[in-house]
Amino acid sequence: MNWNLIIFLCSSRCILAQSPTKFTIGQVDFELDREFELMDQNDDKVISQQEFDDFQEQQDKDGNDCVSMDEYFAYHQGNMLTFEWHMFQHLDHNQDGCLELPDMKEEFNEIDRAPKDNEIEIHELELYYSKLYETFGIVKGN
């Protein structure tokens, strides 16, 4: 039994009950920039579908084509945990506790908006995250 996950989920529910969760703009911007840099493997300031897929594969430690909640949180350790809990739930489109390639391809298409060119630029990721913060009831503080 993964006690760390159980403790995390219990404490997350307590944190989520204190809504809205407030993060500083600095925290939000740092995490967004960090996530973009992790995915942009060739530093060309865009994330291709291949780079996005590779990023998901890196999180799948046991190679079973499923990023479990344990794997997701191990990879995102130290991030804003309340947000990451919401993100996992959002990314798991069929709510099976597993982030699979179809989930991620759908998400890539959701992020790639303007222009729709099979690449994600930082402004597209910023827009995507802004919508998610609003959806999750997370407030960006000063």
Residue range 23-45, pLDDT digits in tens: 666 676 777 888 899 899 999 99
When computed from its CA atoms, the radius of gyration of the chain, rounded to whole angstroms, is 15
pTM for this prediction: 0.73
In terms of C-beta density within 10 A (0-12 exposed, 13-18 middle, 19 or more buried), how is residue 86 classed? buried
pLDDT at residue number 5: 41
pLDDT at residue number 66: 94
Give the confidence band of 9 by pLDDT, cuts at 50, 70, 90. very low
pLDDT at residue number 44: 96
- What is the dihedral sign for C-alpha 9, 11, 13, 15? negative
- Percentage of the chain beyond pLDDT 90 is 41
